[in-house]
Amino acid sequence: MPVALEPLPQHRALVDWIRTREPEVWAWYSDAERLTQDAEEVRLSLLRDSYRMDAEGHPELFAEIGAAQAALGLEGIKVHAYQAQGQIGPNAAICYLPGEAHLIFSGPILTLLSPIELRAVIGHELAHYLLWQMEEGAYYLADRILHQSAAHPEAKSSHGQSARLWSLATELFADRGSYQAAGCLDTAVASLVKTCTGLAQVSGKSYLGQAAEIFSKSKPKTEQLTHPETYMRAFALKLWVEDEADLETAVARMLEESDGLDDLDLMQQAKLAMLTRRFLGDHLRPAWFRSEAALAHAKLFFPDFSLGEETDEALPADLLELSKARREYLCQVMLDFCAVDPELDELPLAAAVERARAMECLGHFEKIAAKELKVKAKDLKRLKETASEILTAASAAKS
């Protein structure tokens, strides 16, 4: 059974990406004076917009706060509690400041939950604090960088998708804090469902069965922006509590799996760029393909492009694992090289036909070749039948 909370692989990868790719941004957000200024603004805002509760007036609440702190190893921090004004729905949130946590409750959540369920919700919120203070605040800095970058007027889709992935992964991490505080999976799930539905009576065990039924009939992925769907959160928490071997794969499928090109996060962009580089390195490997025009065009994709000496043995299998949309993207890449050097005649087209066949997207390549290159149907038919022989002869002639 899990005994410690660790950042999810998605957290670690994004922190590493920002530190490595954007060291100046990381240094700017690390400025201690700026963090102090932000802290004062947070404190004042909470005093203006909520009612502050203390241990003397709300001993039951602070008893559960203390129990959750002990369960998460956060006894050394100061925890403040507030009831938000003007919010109807039950909810809880946290404001993080170094050395102190500010819990904000809204709606009827304090009366909706049993004491142990309240402890679970508090554990969820304090888990945010636990994550943000790890590695000397690295995860807090990443959180700020990702969300403020996504909110910038000139932000790209990849910035928004990266912030979204971070938020989704953070909620799964915090759900583990809920379990850690309550010590019971059914209680953690019941507190989650109560908060999401507003129901006074909920069975965590029953909802776990409902979630399992959904997953037995499909392989769902989240469509939400900040919090995964409730049944996914319950199912992911169960996998973690039971220490399932395929936990990371299952979570990645729920949070990251994407078919298209328009919703790539920063890391997925980098991975696709690397795969494109590998693809071009392999596609242009034949000696006959290494013309000045073809290699110059490859440098438009990657200015430092060069051909390696060894065959990429893993590439064919990696290409077949790509989504249909991404294999079709590579067909578009091949199309460029079919037209970039007229002196190569039909050899690039023959190579593209064979590659598309191997990637199981030959039909798509035929369509775009006919449309964009005006290749006649009879010529495509001939190439489909003779491409292998044409390429073998060209390679033999160059050897």
What pLDDT sits at residue 257?
63
Tokens, residue 90: 């039950």
What pLDDT sits at residue 218?
85
Query: Mean pLDDT, to the nearest integer, of 112-117?
Result: 97
What pLDDT sits at residue 220?
84
SS3 content of the chain, % helix, strand, coil (to 5): 65, 5, 25
Query: Mean pLDDT, to the nearest integer, of 136-161?
Result: 93
Domain that residue 231 falls in: 9-255
Report d(CA 168, CA 233) in Å as an integer: 10
Mean pLDDT of the chain: 92
Domain tally, the chain? 2
Q: Does the residue 35 lie in any domain?
A: yes
Residues 217 and 352 in one domain: no
Tokens, residue 166: 């971070």
Query: Mean pLDDT, to the nearest integer, of 50-78?
Result: 96
Residues 251 and 213 in one domain: yes
Residues 101 and 54 in one domain: yes
Residue 84: strand pairing partners:
50
Q: For 187-240, what is each residue's pLDDT tens digit? A: 999 999 999 999 999 999 999 999 999 999 988 888 887 888 999 999 999 999
DSSP state of 97: E
What pLDDT sits at residue 261?
78
Residues 330 and 251 in one domain: no
Residue 121 has pLDDT above 70, yes or no: yes
Query: Mean pLDDT, to the nearest integer, of 106-116?
Result: 96
Residues 14 and 150 in one domain: yes
Give the rounded percent of residues in the chain with a pLDDT score beyond 90: 77
Residues 224 and 371 in one domain: no
Listed range (34-43, 105-114, 205-214, 307-316) with the worst mean pLDDT: 34-43
Give the rounded percent of residues in the chain with a pLDDT score beyond 70: 96
Residue 1 has pLDDT above 50, yes or no: no
Report d(CA 247, CA 87) in Å as an integer: 36
